[in-house]
Amino acid sequence: MALSSTTTLTLFFMLLFLPHITSSSPANFAGSTCLRVSPTKFVDSAEEVITVLQQVTSILSRFGNVFGNSRFSHAITDCLDLLDLCSDELNWAMSASQNSNGKDNSTGNLSSDLRTWLSAVLVNPDTCIEGLEGTNGIVEGLVSTGLVRIMSLVKNLLLQVDPISDHFETKLGKDRFPSWLKDADMKLLKTNGVTADAVVAADGSGDYTTVMDAVMAAPDNSMKRYVIYVKKGVYVENVEIKKKKWNIMIIGEGMDATVISGSRSYGDGWTTFRSATFAVSGRGFIARDISFQNTAGPEKHQAVALRSDSDLSVFYRCGILGYQDSLYTHTMRQFYRECKISGTVDFIFGDATAMFQNCQILAKKGMEKQKNTITAQGRKDPNQPTGFSFQFCNISADSDLLPLVGSIPTYLGRPWKTYSRTIFMQSYMSNVIWSEGWLEWNESFALDTLYYAEYMNSGAGAGVGNRVKWPGYHVLNAASQATSFTVAQFIEGNLWLPSTGVTYTAGLTN
């Protein structure tokens, strides 16, 4: 979609200055009626989970830094961070259940918020267990019972939240601002001068020479947008935006000009979770005109370029480049617009509620006899709102795979977890996609519980005549069936995307 110069300029200033998560967000439209139990009962159940979290954390803490820079040490660090995130997410849920208009009610739809945060609490212990596998059987045995207990309790918590959804429609015309935007912010949007809070330049011409230094200097728990401008260049570093760094925005000079590059991998002793070149947990993150890459190569197996646990995060015109496991959409609600994402095996994976719009999805050449799978979505429970939705995307072969199209199998996805959920709609698929469309994970695992769907796609790889015949695979023929996977409904985009300034299409198109 081509943008007018006026629209582009408006978008730029909105992205720079508009606070992302604020206490002045739209009022709650779902209300506490989404709870199937009393708020007191919900809080009691959540506190039971926190008690078990504290017990497991106490055990894991004894092993911190015991084994140095090893995969086991990284796994322990992962677990401690993940369980810490669980505590925050449970506290948000408890607070919102008692005061649905509080600052922790991020979108104004209490049901969506609670189910999102509880889903993250369900995912995090599972990621901890996966990281510990094959490292130290004694420690894994000590904590696995507690971690499984946490997941069981959280599944029961999810059952206490009614999956209702009141989709608030934002009344915006062309180049209009949301009604809740303050006058002072509107004046800022109309100014010609833009000053970032911090400038990163490798040549020393900015405030910092590394992105991580600029992130560390950002305020904690900020309700105001904090803008870091990164000048063109390749920044070889691993960046982690921790949970307290809210509302950070990173702007580069273009996905081909500003690149953050790393090479951590499972093959070199890192956990998949810790291998990320760029990782963000702080809420309300925005990235624009920048690339994140992992150069470990296909032979090093899992090697993440970008990992996000940031709720209500946006990635606009970003490159996410790697091989196996390039993009780890770990948890929370995420929106990707006009991004370029490349890889080989499961190169978009995780258990977020992630929407991809107008993105270029590029399959690459991997190792010999290796099959490409674009997605490996990790939904674990039918009550989770999570999944992947691709709309108006272009699914093609990268330049290294083009000469080999037809000889290297490439599939839309495979079921990593029992209730894996992915839909491709109104997208273009080249002949890189094999006629079966989808690949098994392990024989018949999850084939009757997954939800894979296609709707109104085009291109040589979009034919559904020879697609898999699994019980969980669906060809959608009516718009009413696909509407649930649009921006407005799947990620409640009309409640929060206008405040980010990013371009998006709320529903389906003719």
The Cα 272–Cα 407 span in angstroms is 29
Q: Which of 113, 311, 346, 381 is catalytic?
A: 346
Task: Specify whether 268 is catalytic.
Answer: no
Compute the chain's Rg from CA coordinates.
22
Does an H or E element contain 28, and which?
Answer: none
- Give the pLDDT of residue 472: 98
Q: Is 169 exposed, middle or buried (0-12, 13-18, 19+ CB in 10 A)?
A: exposed
288 φ/ψ angles, rounded to the nearest 5 degrees: -150, 135
pLDDT at 65: 67
The neighbouring-strand residues paired with 235 are 260
Beta carbons within 10 angstroms of residue 166's beta carbon: 17
Task: Give, for all 510 residues of the chain, the pLDDT tens digit.
Answer: 443 333 333 333 334 333 344 433 333 333 457 999 999 999 999 999 999 999 999 999 998 766 677 899 999 999 999 999 999 999 999 999 988 665 555 788 999 999 999 999 999 999 999 999 999 899 999 999 999 999 999 999 999 999 875 454 444 333 333 333 344 433 333 333 346 999 999 999 999 999 999 999 999 999 999 999 999 999 999 999 999 999 999 999 999 999 999 999 999 999 999 999 999 999 999 999 999 999 999 999 999 999 999 999 999 999 999 999 999 999 999 999 999 999 999 999 999 999 999 999 999 999 999 999 999 999 999 999 999 999 999 999 999 999 999 999 999 999 999 999 999 999 999 999 999 999 999 999 999 999 999 999 999 999 999 999 999 999 999 999 999 999 999 999 999 999 888 999 999 987
Three-class DSSP labels, 363-383: ECCCCCCCCEEEEEECCCCCC
| Tokens, residue 365 | 């050449």
Q: Which residues contact 506 (CB under 8 A, 6 or more apart)?
A: 169, 486, 487, 488, 493, 494
**Domains defined for the chain, CATH in brackets:** 39-160 (1.20.140.40), 183-500 (2.160.20.10)
- Say if pTM beats, i.e. exceeds, 0.95: no
Q: What is the pLDDT of residue 105?
A: 55
Contacts of 116 by beta carbon, 8 Å cutoff, 6+ apart: 311, 332, 333, 353, 385
Q: Supply the pLDDT for residue 100.
A: 66
